[in-house]
Amino acid sequence: MPVTEIKLRFVKAFIVENNKGETILVDAGTPGSGKKLREILEQRGVLNRLRAVVFTHSHGDHIGGAPELGLKVPLLIHEDGEKFLREGRWRKPVIHSRLYRVGFSLLSLFMKDDGRPLQSVEKLKEGEIIEGVNVIYTPGHTSDSVTLHLPHENVVIVGDTLQGTGSGLRLPVIYEDKDQLLESVRRIASLNPQFVYVSHGTSGKPRWPDEIK
């Protein structure tokens, strides 16, 4: 079951295809990324096999490109994020770093404040979404954050629950609940994945943050 990592500006999206050819797109990047993602789906020949778009959470750099996709498939997000897609809004990040606050302020100059309301939004529940891909609720970064677990490949797609560095995984400086975040990372680590796909930074074999030890 291949996972294709797609680099977009400063964030990533992922295409996951199971052994039956069923395919999902994970996240849609920032505004302006949706058209590129649709072209990639077409080039890979999986557009007609796409079952859903799954959002790891409702920050603008993950749902911002959704309106441009133009796909007639369910848009799946945890119930705490449904209103943002339905109302065309983005969840505001809770930043615990002065440097990141400055950087985010500069980045906001290049992004629209919000998107546009979307139809076909459905609640994303824990459990199997397509054969071989399980959804796990991992709040902390946001209240609607989820992780995708591919048990047969023993890999996870964690969204922003973790970030990748050259020396291992680290906790994000953007989070809504630190205790929930730590518990979610411990839950992910308990799966003993051999590879962790992150939306920011370097994906790879896990070296877990000291905070969860």
Tell me which of 89 and 96 has the higher pLDDT.
Answer: 89
Can you tell me the mean pLDDT for 156-180? 97
Task: Among 49-58, 105-114, 127-136, 151-160, name the one with the lowest average pLDDT.
Answer: 105-114
Number of domains in the chain: 1
Q: Return d(Cα 188, Cα 180) in angstroms, integer.
A: 12
Contact between 202 and 170 under an 8 Å Cβ cutoff? The reply is no
Token pair in block for residue 106: 């500069």
Contacting residues for 113 by C-beta, under 8 A, at least 6 apart = 90
What CATH number does residue 149 fall under?
Answer: 3.60.15.10
Can you tell me the mean pLDDT for 111-125? 85
With the CA atoms of 95, 146, 196 and 32 taken in that order, what torsion angle do they form, in degrees rounded to the nearest 10? -70
* pLDDT band at 137; cut points 50, 70, 90: very high
Task: Say whether pLDDT at 8 is over 90.
Answer: yes
13 φ, ψ to 5°?
A: -125, 170
pLDDT at residue 108, as a whole number: 64
Task: Say whether pLDDT at 213 is over 70.
Answer: yes
Q: Provide the domain limits for residue 147.
A: 3-212
Can you tell me the mean pLDDT for 195-203? 98
pLDDT tens by residue, 63-93: 999 999 999 999 999 999 999 999 999 999 9
Task: Say whether pLDDT at 104 is over 80.
Answer: no
Q: What's the predicted TM-score (pTM) here?
A: 0.94
Task: Say whether pLDDT at 196 is over 80.
Answer: yes
* pLDDT band at 157; cut points 50, 70, 90: very high
Can you tell me the mean pLDDT for 5-32? 95
Token pair in block for residue 56: 């790891």
Q: Return d(Cα 56, Cα 125) in angstroms, integer.
A: 12
Token pair in block for residue 84: 């943002």
Q: Return d(Cα 124, Cα 75) in angstroms, integer.
A: 9
Can you tell me the mean pLDDT for 83-108? 80
Strand partners of residue 210: none
Q: Return d(Cα 50, Cα 46) in angstroms, integer.
A: 6
* pLDDT band at 10; cut points 50, 70, 90: confident
pLDDT at residue 103, as a whole number: 60
pLDDT tens by residue, 107-117: 665 566 567 89
